[in-house]
């Protein structure tokens, strides 16, 4: 008798990018629910077989048109209620963007914001930016 191997039930894995471009932070306006029409950090789900670093670069390119250079790991956000679709853990990176900024795939629009101009964001992205302010200011100065 062959025993069935049980796969553990685990949270979904996502990435978010704090992209510094032309001295500002890049935010995308979400085209799809949840938080449709709200600004958010560029990011999304990690695909099976993909590293988180490759995922954040792919999501940044898809949503903003920018190539990114990862500067540092900013943090890991794992509150089970951070995403209304279910438990999703986000690995967040600070990165520098280069190229032509343009809204793509899941982005309805795109904007550049100074750290003191950040609107109310989707998910827990205001908290992520707040936690990263000293690092971002260090990169900008």
What confidence tens digit (pLDDT) does each residue in 98-126 have? 999 999 877 899 999 999 999 999 999 99
User: Is the Cβ–Cβ distance between 19 and 64 less than 8 Å?
Assistant: yes
Distance CA 40, CA 38 (A): 6
Task: Say what the pTM is.
Answer: 0.93
Give the pLDDT band of residue 40 (cuts 50, 70, 90).
very high
Task: Give the number of C-alpha atoms closer than 13 A to the C-alpha of residue 84, restricted to the C-beta side.
Answer: 6
CATH 3.90.79.10 for domain 12-140, yes or no, is: yes
Task: Give the number of C-alpha atoms closer than 13 A to the C-alpha of residue 72, restricted to the C-beta side.
Answer: 8
Convert the pLDDT of each residue in 27-36 to its tens digit: 999 999 999 9
Give the pLDDT band of residue 6 (cuts 50, 70, 90).
confident
């Amino acid at each position: 008798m062959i025993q069935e191997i049980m796969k553990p039930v685990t949270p979904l894995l996502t990435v978010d990018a704090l992209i510094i471009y032309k001295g500002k932070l890049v935010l995308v306006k979400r085209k799809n629910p949840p938080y449709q029409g709200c600004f958010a950090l560029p990011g999304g789900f990690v695909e099976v077989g993909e590293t988180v670093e490759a995922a954040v670069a792919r999501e940044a390119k898809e949503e903003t048109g920018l190539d990114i250079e990862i500067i540092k790991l900013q943090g890991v956000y794992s509150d089970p209620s951070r995403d209304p679709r279910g438990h999703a853990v986000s690995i967040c990176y600070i990165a520098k963007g280069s190229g032509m900024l343009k809204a793509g795939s899941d982005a309805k629009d795109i904007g550049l914001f100074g750290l003191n101009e950040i609107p109310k964001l989707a998910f827990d992205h205001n908290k992520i930016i707040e936690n990263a302010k000293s690092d971002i200011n260090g990169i900008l100065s």
